[in-house]
Chains A and B, each alone.
Chain A
Amino acid sequence: AQSVSQHNHHVILSEAASLELGCNYSYGGTVNLFWYVQYPGQHLQLLLKYFSGDPLVKGIKGFEAEFIKSKFSFNLRKPSVQWSDTAEYFCAVNGAFTGTASKLTFGTGTRLQVTL
């Protein structure tokens, strides 16, 4: 069974600080990887995704993530956070070539609080 670990549960940063949120997964095959963001009071929306190719993926709002296969990791980064980045961030993974049993597994989320 696949699983996703997000070790940082709550991160507090000042505006302009750099961000890195950890995500590690457990799955024996080829994976598709996602980061979703949930702004306060809103639904989840896709931040970025990795299916194949360049392991450094760029998403919306200046976010990027790097897939390191040997480390089973897909960490999210942003060079300079803004107050508007305050949100909860979820890493998710599913098997790339499985059939109808495939499903997206989410991590427990990291709550990011950006202070002015």
Chain B
Amino acid sequence: NAGVTQTPKFRVLKTGQSMTLLCAQDMNHEYMYWYRQDPGMGLRLIHYSVGEGTTAKGEVPDGYNVSRLKKQNFLLGLESAAPSQTSVYFCASSYILIGELFFGEGSRLTVL
């Protein structure tokens, strides 16, 4: 039972490049989330999904896109990376919308 798995774990990009972070969960959770963690700012919600085929904006959605084509996967895309997107990204899932979140191990992204 892997829980929540994120790939890749580390990535370095140049400004303007694009990339996709993949999150996969094997707990059959309906709800999935993408957060970014920055020093002194805690975790901020980028986008979330309440079910397959649905997505919604969180606190800091600009510059990111997401897709939830399959229930177990939640993809986070950066179309044109900027240095301000240097961060650690965490994916999470939950059984109910207001319940406990289960987190992945994080993906550290550096944009030069």
What total of A-B pairs shows CB separation below 8 Å?
49
Distance in angstroms between the alpha carbons of A32 and B101 in the assembled complex? 12
Measured as residues with beta carbon below 8 angstroms from the partner, the interface class of chain A is 20 to 34
Q: Is the CB of A106 within 8 A of B105?
A: no
- Interfacial residues of chain A within 82-102, with CB under 8 A of chain B in the complex: 90, 94-96, 98, 100, 102
**What are the residues of chain A within 8 A of B58 when measuring CB–CB?**
103
Measured as residues with beta carbon below 8 angstroms from the partner, the interface class of chain B is 20 to 34
Scan A99-115; emit 1 where CB is below 8 A from any B CB, else 0. 01011101111000000
- Interfacial residues of chain A within 56-95, with CB under 8 A of chain B in the complex: 90, 94-95
Q: Is the CB of B105 within 8 A of A42?
A: yes
Residues of B within 8 A of A (CB): 4, 33, 35, 40-45, 48, 50, 56, 58, 90, 92, 97-101, 103-106
